[in-house]
């Protein structure tokens, strides 16, 4: 008498084995990753084989976790499609297949290889691919209904509140466990405390000068004085920064909803924003915590949303006069708030003005913004900061000393050595930095190269710097680029939906 196994049972067993293998591979990779140490100033991960422990336990835990997730996803897919559970188990299991590639890292390290940022990036891409495949399964037969305005705002508020609670807790725990040092939160806490004592933005950090304005033109810090008077504690700065970052979900939602004509698209981009790695790192900031750079994100997001409300795209559309006037008023308020956050935000502002003067109407608004950005940047770097520090803009030699010590020398070097700049931009850590910024948004921003150009000067400055911390996603230096990336991604999605993206034109 034989013991036959039905085809359905064999299919379920094979699917379960696949999921268990994917879970084991994931757990083993994360165990390898936990044995790696991040070296800040080299911007590298160093794998320590002797620190590796618990690989098998991690593999088992993740195998069980993925098995549970597979079951839940299969049940959800069955309910949405009306199919039986037996029919949804196999496709939901197959969607975990990309994670099997992680077995390659076990073999790689066994042969003496290293876990690097590249491997971490590959892991992120594989997880994203698994998520996309499961979303495809869940929406193929029964698309998700478009949420109403009320439902959309509820989702935006709920996601933002969750972000605030999670990162707010991490802020407080990090501070209370002495994870934060003097840089950077301590600098601003000290400057604000001294301001309350009558010494405006005084800091003991610097040699040769004592006012923080000799470091950066971050007048927005003065807006924290009343709040700091009520709660003079570094945690006030940390929690306020988290709140402002969470509030960035509102302009992201409005921009995506208005550009794409879909509440669902707006909610999707809000989730992308709140889960965007660079946003999380802007909040926690590996060594700094609170920084003025993070304060530029919210006003710049509003700048891009109000820009689309106040200006025409030059395609024959018209915006009602009263609505345009109100939008322009708030637009310039947000431009001002972005400028006073830190002088580096002025580069994004001036490039936004250039974009507006070329691609939007009326051009004169863009020209005004362009002039404001240029004027503010050079006022900060050539007048205000040198006045308070008693020396020329000292961040130029600090970060670009191997190319020159002034803007004129840097410009001449760039003109004389374009291939060296290209080499710097295409180095390993720089490429990983770019991919970490572009891939989480599905490369949609590449469909709107004109919008992405707004970030070009800032990205170039980050990529060619001799200090590796400038092209690390773990630090705050790229904060002002984040709003540009979301504007470009939403604009790319709009062009793709309208059939006007450069790829569609190329293939037409």
**Cα 320 from chain centroid (whole Å):** 34
**b or e along 284-303 (b: 16 or more beta carbons within 10 Å of the residue's beta carbon)?**
bbebbbbbbbbbbbbbbbbb
pLDDT of residue 39: 65
- Whether residue 50 has pLDDT greater than 60: yes
What would the mean pLDDT of 350-372 be, rounded to a whole number? 95
- Whether residue 3 has pLDDT greater than 60: no
Is 156:249 a contact under the CB 8 Å cutoff? Answer: yes
Among 220-229, 309-318, 324-333, 477-486, the least confident range:
309-318
- Whether residue 394 has pLDDT greater than 80: yes
Is 31:55 a contact under the CB 8 Å cutoff? Answer: yes
Domain regions of the chain by residue span: 7-139, 152-392
- Provide, rounded to the nearest whole percent, the portion of the chain with pLDDT above 90: 57
d(CA 406, CA 359): 32
Q: pLDDT tens digit string along 435-452?
A: 889 988 988 999 999 999
Q: Could you give the count of Cα atoms lying within 13 Å of 428 in the half-sphere of its Cβ?
A: 9
* pTM metric for this prediction: 0.84
Is 11:90 a contact under the CB 8 Å cutoff? Answer: yes
- Whether residue 323 has pLDDT greater than 70: no
CA distances from 98 to 23, 128, 339, 437 (A): 11, 10, 44, 22
Measuring CA to CA, which residue among 8, 25, 137 is closest to residue 72?
Answer: 137
- Whether residue 360 has pLDDT greater than 70: yes
Among 93-102, 119-128, 205-214, 460-469, the least confident range:
119-128
pLDDT of residue 351: 98
d(CA 93, CA 90): 5
Q: pLDDT tens digit string along 243-302?
A: 999 999 999 999 999 999 999 999 999 999 999 999 998 988 766 689 999 999 999 999
Measuring CA to CA, which residue among 505, 457, 447, 497 is closest to residue 480?
Answer: 457
pLDDT of residue 40: 56
The pLDDT confidence band at residue 108, using thresholds 50, 70 and 90, is: confident
- Whether residue 231 has pLDDT greater than 90: yes
pLDDT of residue 298: 98
What would the mean pLDDT of 429-435 be, rounded to a whole number? 87
Among 303-307, 413-417, 467-471, the least confident range:
467-471
Among 182-191, 257-266, 498-507, the least confident range:
498-507
Q: From the CA atom positions of the chain, what is the Rg in Å?
A: 25
- Whether residue 414 has pLDDT greater than 80: yes
Q: List the structure tokens of 260.
A: 């794409």
Q: pLDDT tens digit string along 490-499?
A: 999 999 888 8
The pLDDT confidence band at residue 111, using thresholds 50, 70 and 90, is: confident
- Whether residue 1 has pLDDT greater than 50: no
Q: pLDDT tens digit string along 12-27?
A: 999 999 999 999 999 9
* Higher-scoring residue by pLDDT: 489, 142: 489
pLDDT of residue 305: 96
pLDDT of residue 34: 81
């Amino acid at each position: 008498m034989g013991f036959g196994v039905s085809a359905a049972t064999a299919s379920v067993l094979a699917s379960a084995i696949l999921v268990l293998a994917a879970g084991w591979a994931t757990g083993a990779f994360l165990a390898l990753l936990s044995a790696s140490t991040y070296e800040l100033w080299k911007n590298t991960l160093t794998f320590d084989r002797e620190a590796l422990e618990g690989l098998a336990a991690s593999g088992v835990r993740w195998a069980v976790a993925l098995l549970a997730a597979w079951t839940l996803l299969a049940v959800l897919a069955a309910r949405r499609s009306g199919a039986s559970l037996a029919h949804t188990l196999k496709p939901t299991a197959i969607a975990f297949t990309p994670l099997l590639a992680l077995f390659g890292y076990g073999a790689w390290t066994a042969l003496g290889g290293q876990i690097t940022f590249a491997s971490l990036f590959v892991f992120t891409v594989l997880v994203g691919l698994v998520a996309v495949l499961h979303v495809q399964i869940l929406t193929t037969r029964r698309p998700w209904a478009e949420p109403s305005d009320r439902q959309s705002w509820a989702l935006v508020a709920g996601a933002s509140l969750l972000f605030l609670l999670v990162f707010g807790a991490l802020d407080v725990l990090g501070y209370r466990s002495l994870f934060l040092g003097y840089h950077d939160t301590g600098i601003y806490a000290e400057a604000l405390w001294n301001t309350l004592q009558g010494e405006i933005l005084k800091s003991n950090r610097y040699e040769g000068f004592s006012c923080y304005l000799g470091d950066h033109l971050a007048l927005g810090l003065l807006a924290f004085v009343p709040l700091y008077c009520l709660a003079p504690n570094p945690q006030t700065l940390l929690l306020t920064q988290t709140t402002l970052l969470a509030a960035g979900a509102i302009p992201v939602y409005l921009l995506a909803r208005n550009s794409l004509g879909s509440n669902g698209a707006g909610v999707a981009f809000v989730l992308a924003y709140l889960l965007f790695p660079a946003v999380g790192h802007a909040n926690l900031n590996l060594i700094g915590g609170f920084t003025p750079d993070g304060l530029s994100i919210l006003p710049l997001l509003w700048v891009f949303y109000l820009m689309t409300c106040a200006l025409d795209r030059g395609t024959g559309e018209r915006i009602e006069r009263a609505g345009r006037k109100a939008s322009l008023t708030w637009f310039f308020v947000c431009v001002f708030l972005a400028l006073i956050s830190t002088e580096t935000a002025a580069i994004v502002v001036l490039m936004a003005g250039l974009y507006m003067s070329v691609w939007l109407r009326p051009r004169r608004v863009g020209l005004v913004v362009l002039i404001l950005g240029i004027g503010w940047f050079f006022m900060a770097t050539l007048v205000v900061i040198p006045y308070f520090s008693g020396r020329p803009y000292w961040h130029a030699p600090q970060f670009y000393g191997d190319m020159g010590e002034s803007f004129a020398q840097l410009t001449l070097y760039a003109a004389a050595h374009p291939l060296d700049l290209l080499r710097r931009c295409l180095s390993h850590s720089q490429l990983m930095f770019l991919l970490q910024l572009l891939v989480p948004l599905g490369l949609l921003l590449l469909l709107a190269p004109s919008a992405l150009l707004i970030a070009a000067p800032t990205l170039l400055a980050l990529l060619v710097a001799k200090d590796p911390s400038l092209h690390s996603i773990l630090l705050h230096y790229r904060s002002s680029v984040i709003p540009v990336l979301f504007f470009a991604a939403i604009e790319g999605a709009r062009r793709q939906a309208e059939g006007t993206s450069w790829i569609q034109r190329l293939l037409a």
